[in-house]
């Protein structure tokens, strides 16, 4: 009974203060003899949603839909167009001077045409024979290797298993061959910034 009277007296004192409307709903009882107040929560009431005309909303949706359809049509129209490569495009001055740059070569005589055709045929025959000989040599080496492994397996299974293992000493293979130009002694590479001037295509 005493606890209830203490509570009502505390509440009456709080209600007389100017901030009672902020504090009254944030009271929590900690024990029988004291009252603890949580921090003040200041909140703003929710804004009232404006009612819009359905016709305006429908027109806005139609405009958005038309805009998206226009973008889709533009993408479909440019779908098969590849990005231009400047290095592969012919300059305009060269295309303007096409008539000047065109060579009017005299027609070849029949004997020269025949000689070139025979030369191409003989070259194709030579390359075919070279490829065939290379394949025969590879088959011969593979057959000899397989025959040696079979003979080794007939002698000892352990030696055969050791022979077919991977030689890891050969994996970090490194070789240096001839280069196009010999290296220049005591050559210092000039420092500089690389500026990418290529066009960006979206």
Q: What is the pLDDT of residue 6?
A: 62
Domain membership flag for residue 84: no
Residue-level pLDDT at 91: 84
**Cα 70 from Cα 47, distance rounded (Å):** 36
What is the domain count for the chain?
A: 2
Please indicate, yes or no, if residue 140 is contained in any of the structural domains. Answer: yes
| pLDDT one-digit tens code per residue, 128-145 | 999 999 999 999 999 999
Q: Is residue 87 part of a domain?
A: no
* Contact (Cβ atoms closer than 8 angstroms) between residue 201 and residue 86: no
Q: What is the reported pTM?
A: 0.35
Is the residue at 199 inside a domain?
no
Determine the pLDDT at residue 24.
45
For the chain (202 residues), the mean pLDDT of every run of 10, in chain order, is 57 50 47 65 73 86 94 81 77 88 90 96 97 97 95 93 84 76 80 76 65
The CA distance from 59 to 57, in Å, is: 5
Residue 95 is predicted with a pLDDT of 87
Residues linked to residue 37 through DSSP beta bridges, in sequence order: 27
Domain of residue 10, residue span: 2-37
Please indicate, yes or no, if residue 64 is contained in any of the structural domains. Answer: no
Q: Is residue 89 part of a domain?
A: no
Q: Is residue 122 situated within a structural domain?
A: yes
Q: If you write DSSP's letter for every residue of the chain in order, what string do you get? A: -HHHHHHHHHHHHHHHSTTHHHHGGGEEE-SSS-EEEPPP---PPPPPPPP--HHHHHHHHHHHHHHHHHHHHHHHHTTTPPPP-GGGSPPHHHHHTHHHH---PPPPPHHHHHHHHHHHHHHHHHHHHHHHHHHHHHHHHHHHHHHHHHHHHHH-HHHHHHHTS--GGGSS-------SSPPPTTPPPPP------PPP--
Residue 190 located in a structural domain: no
- pLDDT value at position 85? 78
Q: Give the pLDDT confidence score for residue 57 in this predicted structure.
A: 87
């Amino acid at each position: 009974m005493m606890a209830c009277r203490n509570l009502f007296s505390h509440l009456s004192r709080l209600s007389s203060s100017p901030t009672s409307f902020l504090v009254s709903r944030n009271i929590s009882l900690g024990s029988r003899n004291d009252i603890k107040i949580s921090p003040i929560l200041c909140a703003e009431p929710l804004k009232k949603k404006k009612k819009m005309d359905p016709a305006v909303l429908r027109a806005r949706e139609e405009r958005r839909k038309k805009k998206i359809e226009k973008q889709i049509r533009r993408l479909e129209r440019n779908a098969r167009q590849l990005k231009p490569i400047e290095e592969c495009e012919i300059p305009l001055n060269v295309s303007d001077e096409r008539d000047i740059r065109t060579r009017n070569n005299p027609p070849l005589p029949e004997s020269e045409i025949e000689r070139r055709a025979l030369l191409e045929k003989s070259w194709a025959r030579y390359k075919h024979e070279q490829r065939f000989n290379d394949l025969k040599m590879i088959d011969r080496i593979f057959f000899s290797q397989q025959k040696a492994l079979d003979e080794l397996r007939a002698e000892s299974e352990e030696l055969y298993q050791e022979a077919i293992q991977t030689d890891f000493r050969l994996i970090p293979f490194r070789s240096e061959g001839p280069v196009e130009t010999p290296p220049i002694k005591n050559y210092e590479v000039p420092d500089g910034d690389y500026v990418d001037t290529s066009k960006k295509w979206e």
